[in-house]
Structure 1
Amino acid sequence: MTIFQTTLKRLIRSKSNLIFLVVLPLVFMLIAFSGSNGTPPLKIAVVDKDKSELSQSIIKNIEAKSSVTLEDENNIQNKLINNDIDYAIVIPEDFSKSFINGDSITLQGFEAKEGNTSQAVKLSLDSYMNNLKSFVKNSKGNEETFYKALKYYENGSYKVSYLSVDKGEGNKAKTLAAMGFIVMNMLFSASSATNIILKDKEKNVFTRLFTTPLSRFRYVLESLLAFFTITVTQVTLYFLMFKYVFKFNLGDTPLNIYLLFLIFGIFTVSMGVFIATHSKNLRQSGSMSTLISLPFAMLGGCFWPRDIMPDILKNISNFIPTTWINTANSDVLFGSNLVDVSTNIALLLGLTLILLAMSSNKLKNNQ
């Protein structure tokens, strides 16, 4: 296991890897942890075309995060332009009926300026609607059953929310925001770590190694084991900080989310190895990593909820690995199990095998 031990030592000694492993995750978690603290309440206008019990519950949920005014739809545009409001939400007519029946219908959101001003409200509303979707699934279209579940949830949620603030625990919206940043960080850190292969090639260490009894298969296998060991350490560190430092709400099955991150870690390693084996030099590797990782992060929901993106971008994002992991994390956080997200897991593992096979073939044919 000489290559394994040597690679681990090189990874640990690298300052850039330590920045990706420790410093950046701390920064991202601090951003998520403090994102909705100490800021003035947002001014949200709500257009309630449905005027139902469900729409009133949605408005009540929004009021917990912001200052809400009920508006006519004709006034929204001018108020947004004049900065009288920060964000506007339209609840469509017959929204409750369609939603309870399980039809595909969404709330409409509008803002006049770019940025993350309304991010906290969007994340909070998104998590609330995810909870309501689970009630829809269990009620099977029965309005009475749905509203009983809704009332029970509201009565319980206010108590839990109060205790959560007293203990300093982060809510699930903050957890999702932090996990999105961590997913992005894992993409870049894996590429940084696997560049060791490229450095060996540039310094002819790669060639000299294969004049010894060491086989290419053993070199690749031990290198992958070293990269995965670092990834496991990285994910474990993240979760320790989640739970004991920032006290984020990890739901009822935090172990399942931990396993999902490990699976995504395997994917990031395979992607990093693919980039390293298909790059001629470190500059090309860095460019490829940026061109792949940034679009993945943006389209996959690492910076903002996918629901606020145009339909064409949401359709494209369905084929992005970061979407698979972020969607799986969100589902498990709000009560799903690993079987429910098995498709996401299969897609990640399948793409991982494809990338590793292509990397292995590249190394095999590289003279």
Structure 2
Amino acid sequence: MRQLLNIAHYEMLHIFKEKILFLMVFLVPLGYAALFGAAYVTAVLNNVPIAIVDLDDSKLSREIAAAFANSPHFRVVDDIKTYQELQEGMKNGRVRAGVVIPEHFEQDMAQHTLTRVLTVYDGSNLIWGYNTRKYIREVFNEFSASNTASYLADMGYNKNDIRSIMDTVSLNTEVWYNPTFSYANFLYMGLIMIILHQIGLLSVSLTITREKERKTWLQFLSAPVPAWKIFAGKAIPYFTANFFNYALLLWFASRFVHVKIGGSLALILLLGILYDLIITSAGFFISAHAPNSLQVTRYLMLLSVPFFMISGYTWPGTHIPAGINYLARLLPFTWMAQGFRQVTLKELNLSYIFPYILALVLMAVLAVLPAITFTKRAKPRQEGGLSINGGASYPGR
């Protein structure tokens, strides 16, 4: 135990001594989380800039304009009055949507003639497009119901008759798990998991490569210390730091970004421990076999975007090509991000989360076994390879 603690103490000294490593282990995850949190803190898209082109200028058309002005989802841009101005406003981004009320609108409505109101919205950004379309429909449905009720009242129907006519079919809609359609609830924790994955993996992956470049790795290989103790001693500081970051970022997400984090605390901690164990073990294994820090940094930085995109976190896995979907199932991020969402957002219990736990347990075993059984034998440097810290001169061919 003393040998293990000595190695852990030695590694912790390196973390606190090297400023870049200290920042990467303790401050970069929180910095990234704060940056992404600031981007998604509003969570719900309101005050969408919209233009009302009223070609009829009647009482009824002004009521439509007032309905949009009174909606919290929209902010009416008043100085756009023509279709050409609407087109220009959509191009330069002053507005994201527009409503064009045709001429003779009130007259056609009074004569019960089919009349069409044109609505346009910017679909170049799907978040703007989806939310704008939904909000426009809500405003028009409310206006249409109010207008119909007024028409029936003018015909002499009393309130009970109007209610019985209009409530022939009633649609009750309930949105489960994310009723406000919060984009932070949808995306933010996936970004947090990829931050923990990449920063944690990169930090621990530089441990042995650093020793190799400083010519100090031989003292570990030649010391009468079993491989598993070297792994444990080297990994414990990073495992502890990663789990600290996991807890810190969950608190930050809940407290400042207002992300919903519900469900079983035990399951949340279990998922974090397994995920951390996989990252730490895989990072140590990579470091033990990588020739230098440069290669580790290059390759790990290339993985973050593919891992996030193919995981099925933002796009349903059922609609991802089968080959890519199978590849995604081999990644710990896929199971962690999806399992975490099931626990915190849907508040599901262990019976539903068990497949995710089982997958992470198997991955943890597959990551730990090669890490604790690495060969304590120095590999000869390949001739013609790049020499790190080998002098001031450029290496010869």
After TM superposition, the score normalised by the length of structure 2 is 0.57
Match status 1:233 vs 2:241? no
Match status 1:357 vs 2:369? yes
Deviation (angstroms), 1:38: 5.4
Which residue type is aligned with residue 239 of structure 2? F
Q: 1:345 aligns with which of 357, 369, 377?
A: 357
Bigger Rg, which one? 2
Q: CA, structure 1 residues 329+245, in 2 after alignment: closer, same or farther (shift >3 Å)?
A: same
Q: Counterpart in 1 of 2:264?
A: 253
Q: Counterpart in 2 of 1:183?
A: 193
Distance (whole Å) between structure 2 residues aligned to residue 120 and residue 326 of structure 1: 25
Q: CA, structure 1 residues 190+314, in 2 after alignment: closer, same or farther (shift >3 Å)?
A: same
Deviation (angstroms), 1:307: 5.6
Match status 1:244 vs 2:248? no
Deviation (angstroms), 1:309: 5.3
Correspondence list, 1:15-30, <5 A: 15-30=23-38
Q: CA, structure 1 residues 221+316, in 2 after alignment: closer, same or farther (shift >3 Å)?
A: closer
Q: Counterpart in 1 of 2:329?
A: 318
Match status 1:327 vs 2:338? yes
Name the one with the larger helix percent.
Answer: 1
Q: Counterpart in 2 of 1:90?
A: none
Q: Counterpart in 2 of 1:168?
A: none
8 Å CA contact 1:275–1:289 kept in 2: the answer is: no
Match status 1:284 vs 2:295? yes
8 Å CA contact 2:227–2:373 kept in 1: the answer is: no
Q: Counterpart in 2 of 1:78?
A: none
Which residue type is aligned with residue 283 of structure 1? L
Match status 1:305 vs 2:315? yes
Q: Counterpart in 2 of 1:336?
A: 348
Q: Counterpart in 2 of 1:174?
A: 184
Which residue type is aligned with residue 215 of structure 2? N
Deviations 1:216-235 (A, max 9, x none): 32211111222211111111
Secondary structure of the corresponding residue to residue 200 of structure 2: helix
Q: Counterpart in 2 of 1:126?
A: none
Q: 1:5 aligns with which of 5, 9, 15?
A: 9
Deviations 1:58-102 (A, max 9, x none): xxxxx99899xxxxxxxxxxxxxx99999xxxxxxxxxxxxxxxx
**Structure 1: where are the runs of 5+ without partners?**
44-62, 68-81, 87-110, 122-149, 162-170
Deviation (angstroms), 1:331: 1.6
Distance (whole Å) between structure 1 residues aligned to residue 277 and residue 350 of structure 2: 17
Distance (whole Å) between structure 1 residues aligned to residue 50 and residue 377 of structure 2: 58
Aligned residues: 272
Distance (whole Å) between structure 1 residues aligned to residue 250 and residue 6 of structure 2: 30
Q: Counterpart in 2 of 1:91?
A: none
Which residue type is aligned with residue 200 of structure 2? A
Secondary structure of the corresponding residue to residue 340 of structure 1: helix
Match status 1:217 vs 2:228? yes
Q: CA, structure 1 residues 9+22, in 2 after alignment: closer, same or farther (shift >3 Å)?
A: farther
Q: CA, structure 1 residues 10+174, in 2 after alignment: closer, same or farther (shift >3 Å)?
A: same
Which residue type is aligned with residue 196 of structure 2? M
8 Å CA contact 1:296–1:322 kept in 2: the answer is: yes
8 Å CA contact 1:301–1:322 kept in 2: the answer is: no
| CA-atom RMSD in angstroms | 3.9
Match status 1:32 vs 2:40? yes
Q: CA, structure 1 residues 205+331, in 2 after alignment: closer, same or farther (shift >3 Å)?
A: same
Which residue type is aligned with residue 294 of structure 1? V
Secondary structure of the corresponding residue to residue 364 of structure 1: coil
8 Å CA contact 2:311–2:333 kept in 1: the answer is: yes
Q: CA, structure 1 residues 270+309, in 2 after alignment: closer, same or farther (shift >3 Å)?
A: farther
